[in-house]
């Protein structure tokens, strides 16, 4: 364990946010965020209704240097003051991941500092420990545009996946529903706003996998049911849009209540001695107010302490990567400069591969 404070630069380029941040891991293991700079590429991708990988990679290249300089300046540090350089090494859009990881390697090489190749999902998983004391083990629900899964976080580098989506991610389902009813991209926030004035019981949409013993999710059937309802309406009035969105959100809320109950039971079976364990919800969809009240109620019902990091740390950012790097450095888990970027990298296998290992891009 490191007994002195460490300062880590974190770089995130795995999807449509370019981000850089500096965090300090204090000698007592607590964290301090010194800077957290994020540039969203929403404008570049909006005309296409989704993230275009090539555009994403080019946009990262264009702004990353400037963002890193800004993060360092806001932290009041020079590269020589850093104890390590962390970057997302996957999972994500490969072109973007390569931009951030290669930049981190260049800085690490030039400055003679350790490189920390961070699993993006580990960044989300460890974020609560940057903000407040949060003992292992705890339960993580990650709901973003690309991921929907439960992880039991047992330690740094020690994860057990309880379940994940078998088709669409939850954020993706929100985005597709938004598209079906003619709302813009990203759809989640707009579906939430439209749903506020809608009738949540007008459409009886399915509650996928409700009652199942596993902890998986499925959203493609729900999306299809929404599509059929929309087709049946021919032309959509604003009231129809509101009612579809409200009924969709109600189906998601019911499903999440059921899936969460199952996951908390599974957690209890694995860790019967955990007293008031934390339930962490991260990812863009965690911003949804209706779902947040479901999480709060479910956590209370099952004796869990709910932690939803503030939006800026819930969606993709550099601080979560810097912090995961700091936690890994404290355990001596540094990476070689030959470490490879990975499009797929399940969290339950947190050791980054090196080039030539033969398993790059293996399906998660």
When asked if residue 287 is in the footprint of ligand KG4 (CB under 6 A), the reply is: yes
CB nearer to Zn ion: pick between 240 and 316: 316
Cβ 208 vs Cβ 221: under 8 Å: yes
Using rule CB under 6 A, residue 315 touches ligand KG4: yes
Size of the site for ligand KG4 (CB under 6 A): 20
Count the Cβ atoms, other than its own, within 10 Å of residue 340. 20
CB of 350 to ligand KG4, least distance (A): 19
CB 280, min distance to ligand KG4, A: 14
Hey, how many other C-beta atoms are within 10 angstroms of the C-beta on 164?
A: 18
Options 2-10, 68-76, 153-161, 315-323: segment touching Zn ion (CB under 5 A): 315-323
Binding mask 137-156 for ligand KG4 (x = CB under 6 A): -------xxx----------
Q: Tell which residue, 340, 360, 349, has the closest CA to residue 115.
A: 340
Interface residues for Zn ion in 139-168 (CB under 5 A)? 144
Least spacing, CB of residue 300 vs Zn ion, in Å: 26
The number of residues in the chain equals 364
Distance CA 147, CA 168 (A): 8
Cα dist. 94→16, 90, 240, 308 in Å? Answer: 12, 8, 39, 28
For residue 261, give both structure tokens. 């109950």
d(CA 43, CA 197): 27
Distances (CA, A) of 153 to 107, 112, 134, 139, 267: 30, 32, 11, 6, 10
Give 46 or 110: the residue with its C-beta nearer to ligand KG4.
46
Alpha helices (H) in 271-333, listed in sequence order: 289-301, 311-314, 318-330
Judged by CB under 6 A, which stretch of 65-73, 170-178, 224-232, 329-337 contacts ligand KG4? 170-178
Provide the token pair at 285.
Answer: 């969809």
Minimum CB distance to ligand KG4 smaller for 172 or for 243: 172
Is the separation of the CB atoms in 157 and 172 below 8 Å? no
CB 152 within 8 A of CB 159: yes
* Minimal distance, residue 297 CB to ligand KG4, in Å: 18
**Shortest approach of ligand KG4 to residue 118 CB, angstroms?**
15
Region from 68-76, 236-244, 278-286, 356-364 binding ligand KG4, contact rule CB under 6 A: 278-286
Which of Zn ion, ligand KG4, none binds 123 (CB below 5-8 Å, type-dependent)? none
The dihedral over CA atoms of 26, 30, 35, 40, expressed in degrees to the nearest 10, equals: 140
Residue 319 main-chain phi, psi, to 5 deg: -65, -35
Q: Does 94 bind ligand KG4 (CB under 6 A)?
A: no
86 binds ligand KG4 (CB under 6 A): no
Query: Is residue 186 within the footprint of ligand KG4 (CB under 6 A)?
Result: yes
Q: Kindly tell me which of 34 and 313 has the beta carbon lying closer to Zn ion.
A: 313
| Mask for 188-217, x = binds ligand KG4 (CB under 6 A) | xx--x-------------------------
Query: Which single residue is written with the structure tokens 């109600």?
Result: 250
Bridge partners of 9?
Answer: 22, 85
The answer to whether 316 contacts Zn ion (rule: CB under 5 A) is yes
Q: Considering the complex, what minimum distance in angstroms separates the CB of residue 54 from ligand KG4?
A: 18
According to the binding rule CB under 6 A, does residue 175 interact with ligand KG4?
yes
Which residues contact ligand KG4 (rule: CB under 6 A)? Answer: 15, 144-146, 171-172, 174-175, 186-189, 192, 283-285, 287-288, 315-316
- Residues of this chain that bind Zn ion (CB under 5 A): 144, 316
């Amino acid at each position: 364990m490191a007994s002195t404070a460490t300062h880590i630069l974190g770089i995130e380029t795995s999807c449509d946010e370019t981000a850089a941040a500096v965090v300090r891991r204090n000698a007592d293991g607590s964290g301090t965020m010194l800077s957290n700079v994020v540039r969203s590429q929403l404008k570049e991708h909006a005309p296409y209704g989704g993230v275009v990988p090539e555009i994403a990679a080019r946009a990262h290249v264009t702004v990353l240097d400037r963002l890193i300089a800004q993060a360092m300046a806001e932290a009041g540090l020079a590269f020589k003051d850093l104890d390590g350089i962390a970057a997302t090494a996957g999972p994500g859009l490969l072109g973007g991941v390569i931009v951030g990881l290669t930049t981190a390697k260049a800085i690490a090489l030039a400055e003679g500092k350790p490189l920390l190749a961070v699993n993006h999902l580990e960044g989300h998983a460890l974020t609560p420990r940057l903000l407040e004391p949060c003992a292992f083990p705890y339960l993580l629900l990650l709901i973003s545009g690309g991921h929907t899964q439960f992880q039991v976080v047992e330690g740094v580098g020690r994860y057990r996946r309880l379940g994940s989506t078998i088709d669409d991610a939850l954020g993706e389902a929100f985005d597709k529903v938004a598209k079906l009813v003619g709302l813009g991209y990203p759809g989640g926030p707009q579906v939430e706003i439209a749903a506020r004035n809608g009738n949540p019981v007008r459409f009886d949409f399915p509650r996928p996998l409700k009652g199942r013993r596993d902890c998986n999710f499925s959203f493609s059937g729900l999306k299809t049911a929404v599509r059929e309802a929309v087709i049946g309406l021919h032309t959509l009035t604003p009231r129809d849009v509101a009612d579809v969105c409200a009924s969709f959100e109600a189906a998601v809320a019911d499903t999440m209540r059921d899936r969460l109950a199952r996951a908390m039971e599974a957690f209890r079976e694995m860790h019967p001695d955990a007293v008031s364990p934390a339930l962490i919800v991260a990812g863009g969809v965690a911003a949804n107010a209706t779902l947040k009240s479901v999480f709060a109620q479910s956590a209370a019902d099952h004796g869990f302490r709910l932690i939803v990091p503030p939006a800026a740390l819930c969606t993709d950012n550099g601080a979560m990567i810097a912090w995961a790097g700091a936690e890994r450095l404290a355990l001596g888990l540094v990476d070689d400069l030959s470490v490879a970027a990975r499009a797929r990298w399940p969290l339950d296998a947190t050791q980054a591969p090196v080039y030539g290992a033969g398993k790059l891009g293996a399906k998660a």
